[in-house]
Amino acid sequence: MTNVRFQAGCHCQRFDVNTERSLSRNTRLPEMKLCPHCEQDAVWRVRLHSAPDLHFSMCFECDSVWLEDQEMSDQTGTRFDKHMLSLGRVPDWKDIEKLGPVK
């Protein structure tokens, strides 16, 4: 009787451990997109405090910017200051709001 109960407990425990391990492995995986230009930092989805509808992706290490519908590679993208000037804005790093890492 005691043995049966012990074995049943073992099975339960092993199942739980496996489930937890697979969950933590999924959350631990860095699903962040590394900047194709500098490969030093993750690319972040950002928007501007002064223009919340204006979304784009940006690397804070080298100031690379990709527009929302733009493919992200080392052949594409622009720079934050250029992007702001092309929009008729003054480049202001304090105006950037980080939304989350690009996956």
Q: Which residues contact Zn ion by CB under 5 A?
A: 35, 37-38, 59, 61-62, 64
| Shortest Å distance, C-beta 83 to Zn ion | 14
The region, left, alpha or beta by phi > 0 then psi within -120 to 50, assigned to residue 22 is alpha
Is there a contact between 46 and 37 (Cβ–Cβ < 8 Å)? no
| Shortest Å distance, C-beta 36 to Zn ion | 8
| Shortest Å distance, C-beta 76 to Zn ion | 13
Nearest to Zn ion of 41, 95 (CB atom): 41
Strand 43-48 vs strand 51-59: parallel, antiparallel, or unpaired? Answer: antiparallel
Nearest to Zn ion of 20, 31 (CB atom): 31
